[in-house]
Each structure stands twice: as structure tokens, then as C-alpha cells.
A and B are shown apart, each in its own frame.
Chain A
Amino acid sequence: MRGIEISLNQTQKIRLQRALKQLESLYLRANFNASVTVADTIPVSNEDTILKGHGTSERDGEVVATLCGVVERVNKLVYVRTLRARYKPEIGDIIVGRVVEVAQKRWKLEINFSQDAVLMLSSMNLPDGIQRRRTALDELNMRSIFEENDVVCGEVRNFQNDGGIQLQARSQKYGKLEKGQLLTIPPYLVKRQKHHFHHLEHYGVDLILGCNGFIWVGELVEARDCIEEDQLNNTEQQFTKSNTTKEMPLETRRSICQIANAIRVLSILGFNVTLEVILETIDLSRTLNLGIDEMLGPEFHVLVAEREAERRTSMTKRKG
């Protein structure tokens, strides 16, 4: 229950504790003895050569952990997987960030990492979709694409020599995010998956689960992949601009808040945030006929925890 700060009454507290304990017991069975803290020795057999991966180092002939976490072994490779840590980017990750600086030919983005990420002007598709070299004029007009404090989504492209990362926006679906909420949750709650972009047409909502713990919930935007539309001339561009300033329907706003609150609940409880769990949580709130504000109340937290405990128990049972 450490770290969970919600005001609960006595029964709620007991119920929550029970649910969490149940979850814990499931987890303990999986791997307990493999967890290490900094400077713990990682046992390895001396006959074999091993490959020392992330979070390990060699001291006096022994392999020592340099991070807190769980020891993972892949064949001869030994590395430490952290449980609670800052975001550590990997190539191909989908992340959401906030522009902090517009610099020469690049934007700098806060992405919850030790360094700001860089998004080069040339790693972006131009708004008019034309394939060409970037000119000085483009550079001057960079603010028309992203300004400071804009929320942007991108993909980790590669590491720079100083350990910083470069982002890229592969297609039109990457880029500026407008009209929605940005949530910040601990990055370890977002697991890497096949898809991080989710278009919830049913709710009229776009959901982007950034690997860095930044989560975007916003209005559904039609993916603009049609070439003809990209080659639009000025009149059309103005048309789309006016389009973006259009009022968002109330229903969509409610959906956005609902999803955002579901994610908040999950992150407070420390559960992994996946699309599946989010949708289940929303369904739960809908069947209970809860208002959006009530979702953040203590009772709902407890209910979600109990449900998750139940779900996971049944899952392990099915497996076992």
C-alpha cells in the first residue's frame, strides 16, 4: 500500500489491503529471489563466460548490480530489469513529449528522460507533404509547426553520441497533439506493446500510451494519409485550420475525461496501463453508473483493485 495516498474509511482500507495482498502473492510466486539492489552480487557460474548487459558491472571478479531491479537472463546474457526507474528509451519506442525549446533546425522535447529529446526539422514531414530539402525559410517557420509547450508525439530513432535521443515522425499520424489531456504516470506502468496508438472510434477518442509515461487522451483525428489531401493548396489548408478550431462535442469531452480518470486510478493503484485494462475500468464505471468525478473517489479505487485481483487470479488459475 506504500505510495497510495487516498483517504479511505476502515472497511475500504481492509478491502484494498486484501486485494493488493492477493495480487502480491501472485507476483511473489513468479520471481522473488531474482531481485537485487545496487551493489548486490549477481550469482553466475564461473565456468561459463557471460555477457554483462545493462545494470551490471564487474568488481573484483564478481558481477555486481548497478541498479535496483530484477535479474534477467537471456542465454548467457545477464542484465538487470529495473522495476521503478526513470524512463529509459529504446529504439522504436513511441513517446509523447512537450516542446521546451525551438532551436536551430530542431525542437527540444521534455520526455521524462535524463536529457531532452531532439526532433530534427528534417525528421518531420512537412505540413504540405512535399518531399524536399528543408530551406532556411522552413527553419524560420518552424514555430508554425510546433511552438513551445506544444505536445508532440514521436518515435525514438536513434541515440546520439552523448546518450541523448533523436526522435522522428514517420508518418502523418505523428506530430502535434491538440485538444485533449496529457497525463503523466510512472513510465514503468506502460509496457511496450505492438501498438501504442489507439483509435477508440466508439468513444471518439485517440489514446496514445507513450512509453515514457506521458499519455495522451484527445479527440479522434482522422489519419491523413491520403496523398491528394497532402498536396492541398492554400484554400484547403485554411479550411482544415478552421476545422481544428471547431467546437468539440460535449460527449467527446466526457469520454476524454472518463478515460483520463480511468488511467489516473490505475496509476495511483500502480497497475499496468494497457488499453484492455483501461476499457475494463471504464466499463466498470459505466455499469456502476458513476459520474466522471466519482471515478476518483476512494470506493472506485477499491473496486478496481478488487476486480484486478480477481482477474489476475482467474488468469493464473487458467494457466496453472
Chain B
Amino acid sequence: MASVKRKSIESQQEDHPLPPPQKQLREDNSNNNSRSSKIIGHGEAVACLHDVSYPGNYVPPFSSITQTQKDSKPAKEFPFTLDPFQSEAISCLDSGQSVMVSAHTSAGKTVVALYAIAMSLKNQQRVVYTSPIKALSNQKFREFKEEFSDVGLMTGDVTIDPNASCLVMTTEIWRSMQYKGSETTREVAWIIFDEVHYMRDRERGVVWEESILMAPKNARFVFLSATVPNAKEFADWVAKVHQQPCHIVYTDYRPTPLQHYIFPSGGEGLYLVVDEKAKFREDSFQKAVNALVPKVEGEKKRENGKWQKGLNVSRLGEESDIFKMVKMIIRRQYDPVILFSFSKRECEFLAMQMAKMDLNQDDEKANIETIFWSAMDMLSDDDKKLPQVSNMLPLLKRGIGVHHSGLLPILKEVIEILFQEGLIKCLFATETFSIGLNMPAKTVVFTNVRKFDGDKFRWLSSGEYIQMSGRAGRRGIDDRGVCILMVDEKLEPSTAKMMLKGSADSLNSAFHLSYNMLLNQMRCEDGDLENLLRNSFFQFQADRALPDLEKQAKVLEEERNSMVIEEEENLKNYYDLIQQYKSLKKDVRDIVYSPKHCLSYLQSGRLVCIQCTESDDKSPSFLIEDLVTWGVIVNFDRVKGVSDVDVDDAIRKPENANYTVDVLTRCVVTKDGVAKKKIKVVPLTEHGEPLIVSIPIDQINILSSARLYMSKDLLPLEVRENTLKQVSEFLSRKPSGLPMDPEGDMNIQSSSYKKAVRRIEALEHLFEKHEIAKSPLIKEKLKVLHTKQELTARIKLIRKSMRSSTALAFKDELKARKRVLRRLGYITSDDVVELKGKVACEISSADELTLTELMFNGVLKDIKVEEMVSLLSCFVWQEKLQDAAKPREELDLLFTQLQDTARRVAKIQLECKVQIDVENFVSSFRPDIMEAVYAWAKGSKFYEIMEITKVFEGSLIRAIRRLEEVLQQLIEAAKSIGETELEAKFEEAVSKIKRDIVFAASLYL
């Protein structure tokens, strides 16, 4: 694959490594270079990187030159000067070639999309614009509609003018259109994928890959993405699978530079950590960390390591951090501000703390009220009384807003509009606000530096930070954007740097197989699953990693082979013996000094022999004897594990808990950096301070039978020094330290202990025989051998991962999944799709296998419509509710039926060697909203069903909308099997749930 690299900052003299389409490109080059250098002349470093990926053996078409000349007049002109990256991308479009634009959210990627649309409309071609989110599609539809009139919209909820030349849709819709062979696929010249970095989404990412792979051969693409470091890789892939050149325009440029501040919790001020020139300021970072007010001990205990420090309720009379923060922002006129937090509840909670603040003038208040009520006008009177609606207005009037997915869609949209109008000064939002339509603020605040990702609270990734901080700074209004990080725990400078200045997340494939995809591919004559897998981005990335791995393995192998050791065989033998000996010793230690046996001997004053801290972590010692030292036990303590909540239980079984022993011994303390101290245990004879250290129980080497008299107060240095002196004296008299006899003194009678001891004796015998042990350089030799062994192990690991990636990815899984489909009778042994398979083909918004089985088992047939809707709700509800009430009996019965079916499906999958956790799969169907949906289908008002469940309004609405999508798919499915009664039933169900506020049209339409 040849490539032409061209950096705008660099001069024209750069050598081009043999670009295939020489003439045209060079012409193009000089043009652009002069243009961009002109801009640089103005003193603004707005660099962008332009690169082209060509497919293998690509021959440039002759026609393209004439085409560019013909289209000399731009399809669309903009009232402002374009940034270099924009004009660069547009010049690619003009030459009729695909382009991938990777830039920050605020940089203005939409310009490129607009140009592509204008160009297609001019050429009477169709253009498809896909976005990952329905709400975003709605917004874009409105934006494009104002610009060009010939625009249509297709989302799962609404379809407007599907015959328009420019179609805005969600990526899922576009995929299913391609499977169905819609007319649009034959008329579309340009396909715009917005936010294409969604491709790394674990669940939905595969949709992008499928859509790109199936796209018509002659179509051209515009990919708009957040900054991704591997944009080139992505473009290479597109070039390869579509056999067309694909340009990359990459820029890090932000129209408004950012300043990053840290706000230490409990502190007073802001500390500038990264300035607008992207320089990290160590000194002020240090000041910020030091200004962190440590929590009161009692409070810390109460919280027990919980994360919700941001939620710290203000103590009596004191203002909460968040309140102080907002006040400061307003005072410094840093508003409007977006405050990001990572949960819906936290979002609302923080907004509630602002209750005392009023940020709006009277005329603004009146404005808000009119806008609000004119939007709410489309709701019925009952719905207007919903608590969420009525509670929101007073908050909004004071200039404070909340934005998260739990809100009613209509409220969310009103808030977006008010925010854009500048009527909301302070918006509490979740991460979802950071993608999509340009809604910048002057300031962005991160209320937390950790985010819960399903199983733990981890640091924010730099990619997430970049995405969210992209909302800071309004182009043309602010000269700089402000990012404030609220920090409430000690932060390493490296962590902070990683977060604030790290690179964007790279675009990695999240490809996976689904039954729906398999069936759809098998159903169509051209479908070739193996080909799809081979062409997937996943496979592409795996193939690409291969040479790298190969190189690594080669380097390591060379290194290994270069190490020559004399008498290697002999030495190896000795090495193995040592390893064996060590592991046996450890076994013995584990038995003797398990808490069960030794707890009763850990009295204070007992002498103890412990292992020294390894001086160098990399090379463990190879001596038969470990480096040990002596100390005195002071105390022992049980480690409070996370799991043992029940204290009584833990006390009953002391042997299962973890213990640490506090030992007084000689240590060396080294200060590493600022925050962390390193304590090293050293032998008694060396220099160091007498200190008490906590060590895990398994570091005890020997317990002595002797005990010292110890002073109660060990605080004074002299006392500790004296105690250690006593230890030394004792040891000089009794060098062995009078170890306790495990069998005699400690009464250990386990057979495994005896066996291990016998084997140690045998080994010790062998050591003596070994001649090599007497060799003078034995220590060094062993060290070399050890590194060599490690290298071998690493090479093995690399080879293994190479083997797995040379094979076609997912090949085994594909086989397994086909086996499942055959077992369940969805396809024949010749891969011809059967009746059941045709039904499952139609279902893409719910688990296709379980739902199809349910349908063919007649479950949906003999229940009432409301019950059916309620049952189907289990397929679309994914959130976990902790204390949801069980649904009534007849619904619960249905749910059990569903679970049985799901379990059967999962078990068959497991038997066919598909990797699946049966119980996890079964519990992925949640009955939490069955009652609410039942009531909704019965005709209840929305406020009534909100009283039934404790879920967020927005979540419920989303679930019901998705339910309607599933029903529409089921109607198609029923049609294909000729079951007219069932079809009618699904139709009835749709008409029952599709009403009122749940399906209220978007304000953007």
C-alpha cells in the first residue's frame, strides 16, 4: 500500500515516496501547501495532517482529472474562512474520493458533511447521513433541513420524507436497509458516517463495520470521527475493502485553546495545571494536591472507601464544594458552565444543592417560561403535571439545568434549546451530553475523576477527558475554554498527566457475531460470511499486528541466543533444583505459618525471622538461603477484606482471614517523589532506623521460641533502638535463634507437611553433590540463566498469540454458532435458511433466538395483548433495578416461561461450544418494568405508571419506544410464516402502546 504523506507545516521539498497517481496529486499538493502555509504565516499554528491510503495495485482513473476541472465551482460556499483541515477535506471531496476527518468535537467537522451533501444534491445523487443516536439524528435533520430543503429522516421512531435526496438516519437503520436491498442503496453516492469512533462500542460497534463492509461498491464515504491516533489504520482498511483511495485529514486543533485547572476538594481556589500552550505545570499541580483537605478520620471510616466524595453533604452551615465552585465560576464570569458527573442520580443531587442560587434576570425568567410552556404544549394536561415536568421549571428559571438520559425526551430537548439560547448558565449533565450537536460552554467541570465502568471505579481515560473537555470554549466568543477537575484524593502527577494530556483512545474493532447477522448473510445469495469476517476491521487489525509480533519474537530470540553460558546443561539442572527447593520451602512455610497454626504464637515480644525486602525486584536471589533478618513481634491484626462483611462469621473461621503482623525491625526509608514512602527491611547489622512495619503473615520465615520483655511504649526512638540491641545480643549467643519445632512445639501433624520436609532433606543432599555449586561465579551465572528462562517464556507467549491471529478470527465461533442454528432448526445442513431462520432474520432489536423460540412455542399466541406487550418488555429493559417489586402472578408466570426458554437456548449454545454464561444470559432478561408496561398497554396515564415503577421517566420511554420497534419486526415475522391472527395481534399491540407522551414528537422535527 503506497502512501503519500504531507504535513502542512512542513515545506514542499518533502520527498514523495512514489505516489501512484502522480500528476494529479502533485498538482493538488502544491496548491494545498501554499494555502496552509499562508495561514501559518498569520501566526496561527493550525496544523493538520493529510494522508492518503491507496488500495493495493491501485490505478488512478483518468476521468478524475477532468472531473476536478469540471467542478471548478465549489458546490457550497461558506460565509467564513475555512480552517485548513476543512478545506483540505473538501478538496478531497471535490476530487470525488473518500475522506476520513478526525478532529475534536468543536473543530467544525459538520462543514465537511454539509459540503458533501451540497455536492451530492448538485449532482442529483443521494446522500445518506448516519449518526449513532436517534436524538442526534433529529438534531441533524433539523440543521440540514434549514440548509437544504430536500432532506428526509428515518429513525426507529419516525420517518419523514423517505424519498428525499438527503437521508438522515441511525446506523442501525442503514444497515437493515442494506440487508433488505433498499432502493436507496443503489442511488447513494456519498455515505456520511458521523461519530464513526462509535465503532469501538462493545455492543453496537459491529453495526458500523457491517454497514461499511456492505456499502455499495461505487459509493464514497465521509467519516467524521473524534481524534483517534490510528486514523490511518482505519483508512487503510476502508481502502482495502472498497478498493478505492481514502484520505485522512487529522487535526488536533482546537479553535479555542483550553486551560486546565484543578480544584482540590475542601480547598478554596483553582490551580492552573495545564495552560493554553499545553504545558504541564508541575509546581502548581503540587500546590493543588497539597491544598487537598484530608477528610476527618471519622468520616473516612464511615464512608469506608466509598467513592461518593463528591456527594459530600455539606456539614451544618458549610457550603458544599459544588456550591462554592459554581459561585466562584459565576463570580469570575466563567459561565455558562457544564458540570459533568457520571450518574443520573448524582447529576440530580448536585443540581439540588444549587437550590439557593439564582443566576437569571427577570426578563430571562419570563423568556424561559414562554419557551418551556410552548414546548410542553403538545403534552396532555395530565402529563404536564408529571413531577419531573413541574419540578424542572423552577430550577430552569434560576438558570440551572439538568441533562441526562433519564429525563423525558421532550424535557431534554427543551433544556438543550434553552442552553443554546444562553438561558441556562449552569448545566449538570452526564457523559451523553458530550457527543453530538455543538453545544459548547465557556467552562467544563468534572465533578469526579473516577468513573464506574461496570465493576470498579477507575480513573477517567484520556479519551473520555478529551471528548468531554471538547465542550469547553465557544468559538468566536471565548478566547479560551476552561476545564476544571475537582479532585478529592491524592493524585500522582503521572496519573494527572495521563488524563489531561494523554492521547485519544484509538479506534479498535469491537466486531462480534450475532445470529441475526449470520442469518441475514446466509439468506442472500451474495452473502459470504467468511468473506465478511476476512474483511472485517478486526481481522485487518489482527493481520497488521502480526509483523510486529514477529519482529518482537525475532528480537527476543536473538537476545536469547546471544547469551552463552558454560556448562549450561549442568547449570540448568542446578537451577531447577533450586527452584524446586524454594517452592518446597514455601510449601512448608505456608503450612506451618498459616494463621490456623501460628496465630496463638504471635504474642508481642516473640522473636521472629523475616525476609528482607528484595533489593532489586527484577532478579530474585539464587542462593539457597534467602536474605533474612530478625525482629520482634509487636502485634498482629486481621486485614479487613472487602468480602467479609459479616463479622461474626469471620471470627468463627480465623484461618480463612488474612493477617498482618507488626514487627519491630531495622528498616531503611527512602522517599520516592513526594507522596509515597518506600520502606525497606534490611538486616540488623546494616544502617537504618528501628521501625515497626506491617508484614503479611506469609513473610515470616521462622518463629523463635524465645520472647523478649518489651516496653509498652515504643514511641521513643531509644526504646526501639534498645529492643533491637537486645535482639542482636540474643542472636550472637544463639545464632540459630532457637526456632520453634513445628512438630514438637507447634503440634503440626499434617501428612503433607511431613512429606514436604522429607523431600527438602533429599534435595539438600543433592545440593551437596552438585559440583557446579562450588563454582565461584555461580550467582552471576544463575542470574543469566534466569533471564534466559524468562525470555523463553515470553517468546512462547508471543508465538501463541501469533498463531491465534493468523487463523481467521471468529472462525471457531462461526462454526459453533452455525451449529446452534442447525440444532434449533433455523438452517439446514447446507446452510439454507429455514422458516424459523426467516423469522429470526426480522428481529434485530431483541434477542432473536429467544424471541423466535418463544413465538414458535405458541407463548405469544394464547395470552392477552397487554400480557404479551408486558412480556416483550423484558427483552428491551436492560437496566438493573435493585429493589424492583415482583410482577403479579400471571405476569410472573409468563416471565418464568421466558426464562425457561432463554435457559434452553443458552444451554444449547453452550453445548454447541458457543462461549456463554447460561445464568448471566437468563438474568439479562429483566422483569422490572413488566407491570408498568402492562398498565401502559391497558391505557393508563403516564403519571400513573410512573407511580408503579421507580425508574427514570426517560429510561421507561426509551424502553417502550424500543418495544414498538420489536413489535414492528414481529409483524414482519408473523407475515412471513403466514400466521395472520398473530400478525393482527401485534398490530393491535402497537396501536395500544403508541400514544401520548411516550411517542411525543421531537421538538427538532
Pick out which of these stretches binds chain B: A13-21, A131-139, A252-260.
A131-139
Q: Residue-by-residue, is A23-57 near B (CB-CB < 8 Å gives 1, otherwise 0)?
A: 00000000000000000000000001111111100
Alpha-carbon distance between A194 and B835 when the two chains are bound, in angstroms: 15
Q: Which residues of B contact A50 (CB under 8 A)?
A: 858, 861
Using Cβ atoms and an 8 Å threshold, which residues of chain B touch A301? none
Bound CA span A123–B186, Å: 7
Number of A residues whose C-beta is below 8 Å from B? 49
Contact, CB under 8 Å: B188 / A75? no
Q: Is the CB of B181 within 8 A of A157?
A: yes
Give A79-107 interface residues, CB cut-off 8 Å to B: 79, 90-92, 94
Stretch at the interface among A141-149, A228-236, A292-300: A228-236
**Residues of chain B within 8 A of A159, CB atoms compared:** 975
Known A92-B524, A155-B525, A225-B217; judge A133-B836 contact (CB<8 A).
no
The residues of A that contact B59 with a CB separation of less than 8 Å are 228
Contact B978 A53 (CB under 8 A): yes
B645 to chain A, nearest CB (A): 46
CA distance A271 to B420 in the complex (A): 71
Docked complex: A231-278 residues within 8 A CB-CB of B: 231, 233
Chain B residues, CB < 8 A from A79 = 835, 977-978
B contact face: mostly helix, strand, loop, or mixed: loop
Across the interface, A74 reaches (CB within 8 A) one of B61, B189, B856, B862, namely B856
Question: For the complex, is B853 an interface residue (Cβ under 8 Å from A)?
Answer: yes
Q: Check A132–B125 contact: CB distance below 8 A.
A: yes
Q: Is the CB–CB distance between B63 and A231 below 8 Å?
A: yes
B979 interface neighbour in A77, A126, A131, A171, Cβ under 8 Å: A77
Chain A residues within 8 Å of B978, by CB = 52-55, 79
Q: Is the CB of B63 within 8 A of A76?
A: no
B interface residue count range (under 10 / 10 to 19 / 20 to 34 / 35 or more) = 35 or more
Residue of B nearest to A132 (CB): B125
CB-based nearest B residue for A156: B181
In the assembled complex, the CB of B531 is this many whole angstroms from the nearest CB of chain A, namely 13
Q: How far is the CB of A195 from chain B (nearest CB, A)?
A: 7
User: What residues on B are CB-neighbors of A228 within 8 Å?
Assistant: 59, 61
Query: Is A94's CB under 8 angstroms from B525's CB?
Result: yes
Residues of A within 8 A of B522 (CB): 194
Chain A residues, CB < 8 A from B573? none
> In the bound complex, do residue A51 and residue B525 qualify as a contact, i.e. CB atoms below 8 Å apart?
no
Render A281-292 as a binary contact track against B, CB cut-off 8 A, 1 for contact: 000000000000
A193 sits at the interface (CB 8 A): yes
- B833 touching A48 by the CB < 8 A rule? no
| B766 proximal to A (CB < 8 A) | no
CB contacts (< 8 Å) of A132 on chain B: these are 123-126, 187, 189
Chain A residues within 8 Å of B831, by CB = 194
**Residue ID in chain B nearest A50 by CB atoms:** B858
Question: Given contacts A92-B524, A133-B126, are A230 and B857 in contact (CB under 8 A)?
Answer: no
Interface string of B811-855 (1 = CB under 8 A from A): 000000000000001000011111110100000000000000101
Name the A residues within 8 Å of B63 (CB-CB).
Answer: 231, 233
Residue of A at shortest CB range from B979?
A: A51
A55: which B residues are within 8 A, CB to CB?
978
> What CA separation (Å) do A193 and B525 show in the bound complex?
9
Does A12 sit at the interface, judged by CB under 8 A? no
Cβ of B835 and Cβ of A77 under 8 Å apart? Answer: yes
B458 beta carbon closer than 8 Å to chain A: no
A158 interface residue per 8 A CB criterion: yes
- Taking CB atoms, residues of chain A closer than 8 Å to B799 are none
Query: What CA separation (Å) do A54 and B124 show in the bound complex?
Result: 44
* Complex contacts, A194 vs chain B, CB 8 Å: 522, 830-832
Interface string of A184-199 (1 = CB under 8 A from B): 0000000011111100
List, in ascending order, chain B residues with CB within 8 A of A170's CB. 181, 524-526
A131, B244: Cβ atoms closer than 8 Å = no
CB proximity to A under 8 Å, residues B937-991: 975-979, 981-982
Whether A135 contacts B126 by the Cβ 8 Å rule is no
Binary interface encoding of chain B residues 510-527 relative to chain A, with 1 for a CB under 8 A from any of its CBs, else 0: 000000000000111110
New contact pairs (14) apart from A94-B525, A194-B830, CB-CB < 8 Å? A54-B977, A74-B836, A77-B835, A91-B838, A92-B525, A122-B183, A123-B186, A124-B186, A133-B125, A133-B126, A133-B165, A157-B181, A194-B832, A230-B217
Could you list 21 A-B pairs, sorted by A, with CB under 8 Å?
A: A49-B862, A53-B979, A74-B835, A75-B836, A75-B857, A79-B977, A123-B181, A131-B188, A131-B216, A131-B218, A132-B123, A132-B124, A133-B187, A157-B180, A158-B180, A168-B181, A193-B832, A227-B217, A228-B59, A228-B61, A230-B218
Please give me the 6 A-B residue pairs with the lowest Cβ-Cβ distance, nearest first.
A76-B858, A54-B978, A75-B856, A49-B862, A122-B183, A49-B858
